[in-house]
C-alpha cells in the first residue's frame, strides 16, 4: 500500500514547515491529487489519520482538490482530457499522447493556528 508512504511524506512536509515557520497546530491540510495518480483516497485518508497522530497535524481536516488528467497529442497537436494513462486521443484516435496533468500529488496549503 503506497498510500502509507505518501502519508508519511505529507507528515514530513508538515513537520518541516512547522519547524521552519514556527507554528504549533495545523487545522487543515489541502492536498492536490491527480485523477491519474493511482491513489486510493479512502486508504490515503486512513493512513493520514494514523501517521498524523502525535504530530502538529493530529486531527487536522484533510481537503482534497482533484486535478483532471490531461495530455498533449503529438499527432493532432491538441491538449486533450485523459481518464486513463494509455488512452487514445479522443480527437484523432492516436496513441501518441504525452501526459501533462493528473499524476501529481502535493500539499497545496496548510491552515495553521
Average pLDDT rounded to a whole number, residues 38-47: 96
DSSP-derived pairing of the beta strands 61-67 and 26-34: parallel
- Which grid coordinates belong to 34? 491527480
pLDDT at 12: 97
Q: Would you identify the CATH topology of the domain 2-112?
A: hypothetical protein PF0899 fold (3.30.2320)
Q: Provide the pLDDT confidence category of residue 1 given band limits of 50, 70 and 90.
A: low
- Which grid coordinates belong to 25? 497546530
pLDDT per residue as tens digits for the range 51-107: 999 999 999 999 999 999 999 999 999 999 999 999 999 999 999 999 999 999 999
Contacts of 69 (CB under 8 A, 6+ apart): 34, 35, 36, 81, 82, 83, 84, 85, 99, 101, 102, 103
User: Alpha-carbon dihedral of residues 20, 21, 23, 28, nearest 10 degrees?
Assistant: -100
Where in the chain are the domains? Answer: 2-112
Amino acid at each position: 500500500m503506497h498510500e502509507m508512504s505518501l502519508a508519511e511524506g505529507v507528515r514530513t512536509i508538515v513537520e518541516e514547515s512547522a519547524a521552519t515557520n514556527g507554528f504549533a497546530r495545523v487545522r487543515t491540510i489541502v492536498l492536490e491529487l491527480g485523477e491519474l495518480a493511482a491513489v486510493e483516497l479512502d486508504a490515503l485518508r486512513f493512513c493520514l489519520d494514523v501517521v498524523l497522530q502525535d504530530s502538529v497535524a493530529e486531527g487536522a481536516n484533510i481537503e482534497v482538490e482533484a486535478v483532471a488528467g490531461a495530455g498533449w497529442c503529438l499527432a493532432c497537436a491538441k491538449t486533450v482530457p485523459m481518464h486513463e494513462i494509455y488512452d487514445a486521443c479522443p480527437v484523432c484516435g492516436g496513441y501518441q499522447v504525452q501526459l501533462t496533468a493528473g499524476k501529481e500529488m502535493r500539499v497545496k496549503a496548510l491552515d495553521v493556528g
